[in-house]
Amino acid sequence: MNTSEIDQASLTKPVSRHVADLLRLAWPVMLSRAGILVMAFADVAMLGRYEPGAVGISNLGLAVFVPILVVTIGLTSGMIPVVSQAYGAGRWDECGRAWRRAVVWGGVMSLIGILIVARTEWILSLPWFHLSAEQAAQGADVALWLAPGLAAQVMFAVCAFYLEATRRPLAGLIAMLVANLLNVALNWIMIYGNLGWPEMGAEGAALASTIARFAAAGCLFALIFWQRDAIAAGVRGPWETFWGPGGWRAGYQMRKLGISAGVSNGCETVGFATMMLLAGSLGTMALDAYSISHNMVSTVFMVGLGLGIATGVRVGQELGAGRPQDAVLAGWVGFGTGVVLMGSLAGMIVVFRDTVALAYTDDPALIARVTGVFLVSAFLFIPDSLQVIMGQAVRSLGDAWVPLYAYVFSFIIFMIPLGRWMIGSGGMDERGLAVTIMIACIVATSLLAARFHWLTRRLRTEP
């Protein structure tokens, strides 16, 4: 066997091990995160059969709620590298203490988020969005029913992050499955007014989702708090200060990385929500078609988000265990796996776009418009997933601020003006907004991949 064959054999085993470890962690994370959007899919599908315009009104409320939710969850996601590195280093008790600090931090941030969501009508009434007073009021009514669920979804995320970083991702999947079943049942009652409940339409779907979110969060919190050897695991014990064990100073790294992720995710989500509001200025049919496409893209994106979280955990665990070269390889394995998986899903949507559209609506005119958007949106899958995979990998190396700058540029400075130009001077319909998002995701992926490469040059040379 010559030298090149020896090198190839020595590389194949680590790569295959990393792929296996990544997928073993990622698949329940993918399905758990997909469950969040499957819940939204159930709302869209059931509202699509309720009355014309209900889907669009629901999405106007979500256009404010979701960015605030994503930002708040992001603010707590700094616990992922903290817990995964502690787990890799064998410091089991520190994992639980980090979870307790994240519970308090997430609770405080949730209260702030709920107060912002309560101002939805004012936000939707801004002249920039060209929405009618009736649209703003109806969207605000939906957002008010969604608002309490923000705290529940954040607590679910905090608990899921802890379980995933300590290699127990299946619990989050089971809790989300239960929540989705509950949501469908409650939708049937609250949207249509069955079993004597008043007919609530889009507001009923929002209330059903809020109740389901509290159920999922309660399941995971109870599982963690009453786990075996809870004191040794660090999830129980003296809190010492309001901010948890060790006080404010002990949570510095978690908050720093979380602020980076929260603001970064917020920039992305605000950009996406702005595209939704711009679609509303194109008319009811355009808003419904774009809303359905957005839900489909967001649901598939949960696969990429699961890969991103799993990649970040894998990079953090390898660093914590003192294996820097494996940390580098774990990051690029996540990138390559994202290309393969998301490319396959994109091909499936292109081939079966008519069938997927039928799952959302039975209106022939809307189906025809939706399939046209699907044909463009499918090309979003790869870059949209890669930007989150690389963002998690870079933060797991301890870099908080460069990813933030990359997201601000890609999704705020670059994407929003481009989207306005697409449907204005560019003369395009809602498909132009999908093209805009795709270009912005390519820009973000390029910047983050370059940063990961730059940061890991030194790690690749270490013995």
DSSP assignment of 85-148, as one string?
HHHHTT-HHHHHHHHHHHHHHHHHHHHHHHHHHTTHHHHHT-GGG---HHHHHHHHHHHHHHHH
Average pLDDT over residues 160-182: 93
**Rounded distance, CA 228 to CA 224, Å?**
9
Instruction: Report the share of the chain in percent with pLDDT over 70.
Output: 96
Give the per-residue pLDDT at 123.
86
Q: Which residue has the tokens 């001077």?
A: 425
Picking from 143, 121, 436, the residue whose alpha carbon sits closest to that of residue 276 is 436
Give the per-residue pLDDT at 463.
52
Contact 397, 316 (CB under 8 A): no
Contact 213, 156 (CB under 8 A): yes
Report the greatest alpha carbon distance in the chain.
Answer: 77
Give the per-residue pLDDT at 295.
80
Contact 42, 183 (CB under 8 A): yes
Q: Name the residue with higher pLDDT: 460 or 210.
A: 210
Please report which confidence band the pLDDT of residue 13 belongs to, taking 50, 70 and 90 as the band edges: low
**Rounded distance, CA 13 to CA 371, Å?**
42
Please report which confidence band the pLDDT of residue 9 belongs to, taking 50, 70 and 90 as the band edges: very low
Instruction: Give the CA distances from residue 184 to residues 41, 327, 334, 403, in Å, rounded to whole numbers and listed in that order.
Output: 10, 41, 33, 37
Give the per-residue pLDDT at 462.
55
Q: Name the residue with higher pLDDT: 349 or 128.
A: 349
Torsional class of 53: left (φ above 0), alpha (ψ -120 to 50), beta (otherwise): left
Contact 386, 335 (CB under 8 A): yes
Query: Minimum mean pLDDT among 15-29, 331-345, 401-415: which range?
Result: 15-29
Joined tokens for residue 220? 């995971």
Query: Minimum mean pLDDT among 64-68, 242-246, 386-390: which range?
Result: 64-68
Judged against a pLDDT cut of 90, whether residue 234 lies above it is answered with: yes
Judged against a pLDDT cut of 80, whether residue 129 lies above it is answered with: no
Please report which confidence band the pLDDT of residue 251 belongs to, taking 50, 70 and 90 as the band edges: very high
**Rounded distance, CA 47 to CA 138, Å?**
14
Instruction: Report the share of the chain in percent with pLDDT over 90.
Output: 55
Q: Name the residue with higher pLDDT: 305 or 98.
A: 98
Please report which confidence band the pLDDT of residue 39 belongs to, taking 50, 70 and 90 as the band edges: confident
Give the per-residue pLDDT at 72.
93
